[in-house]
Amino acid sequence: MNADDSGKVEVLERGAMTAVLGDSLSPAVGAPTPATADTVSTGAIERCTHSPLVTQDRPADRVAYQRNATGWLTWMMALPFSTGPVADTTGAACGLGQSGRVWYLAGTTGGAVARTCTIPANKQIFVPLINRWGVSPDLDQFVPDVLAWFDESRAATCSLTLRLDGRDLLPAPGSVDAALYASVDAPFSMVINDDNWASAYGVPGGDTRAMTSGYYALFEPLTPGDHVLEIGGATCDGGVVDFSTAATYTLHVLGGHGHGHH
């Protein structure tokens, strides 16, 4: 396994086969200034009694997180990366490629961003706090390597942020993994855009195989009106924050039939 100079993209090579691993901190659109511990939220242990956050308390919830982690990566990878939701600095791209009952929101390639997004009524919301992935047509040959990298990246995650309308929603520290962590450990098929997160590393567009893992948040539909959602995460090396990602969304949720959650 060879890391490129950024340390945030891993290139696996075996014979004539190559796989590229990345995460929401990969500086494919421009490297952020490294964060310090003072600038990264340590989260909170208090949860709202009537929170719209869905945690993985039931088998059906765990299935939903797995399904949406797969769906999020498929959604993101199908769009042009340089002009898509991850590189977006305003929220103008938040409606691209959306379909179905779940509305996907994106983090950043590192650093902080503020976005404004209008969401139709009665949509669940799914977002990564910090996530990572492996992509290659030959990925089935690299499964043990990818899983090991997922474990390393998970262990390096030192901070998470999840706040809705000023209220911290992170579960207690000892239960965060069970509540929010999901890993899709078996390769699945998807189509990647020619303009993708690792075009500079020779990753082509077209049919490919992928795996993904990370900390995510699934929300039941929010009440119509305006909400502020803050998400993010950080990794540490030797106890020092080396990269962080953060997005603050002003969400305009449209009205409609049914009831949302506040």
> pLDDT tens-digit profile of 69-92?
999 999 999 999 999 999 999 999
**Tens digit of pLDDT for each residue in 30-64?**
333 333 333 333 333 333 347 899 999 999 999 99
Give the integer Cα–Cα distance in Å for 8 and 106.
Answer: 18
**Tens digit of pLDDT for each residue in 191-248?**
999 999 888 888 899 999 999 999 999 999 999 999 999 999 999 999 899 888 999 9
What is the share, in percent, of the chain residues with pLDDT greater than 90?
Answer: 71
- pLDDT for 87: 94
How high is the mean pLDDT of the chain? 85
Give the integer Cα–Cα distance in Å for 86 and 100.
Answer: 20
Residue 110 confidence class, pLDDT cut points 50, 70, 90: confident
- Indicate the pTM of the whole model: 0.85
- pLDDT for 102: 98
Residue pair 101/79 in contact (Cβ under 8 Å)? The answer is: no
Contacts of 27-31 with C-beta under 8 Å, sequence gap 24+, read: 27/109, 27/110, 28/81, 28/109, 28/197, 28/198, 28/199, 28/200, 29/81, 29/82, 29/86, 29/87, 29/109, 30/109, 30/110, 31/6, 31/110
What residue ranges do the domains of the chain occupy? 2-253
DSSP-assigned letter for residue 140: G
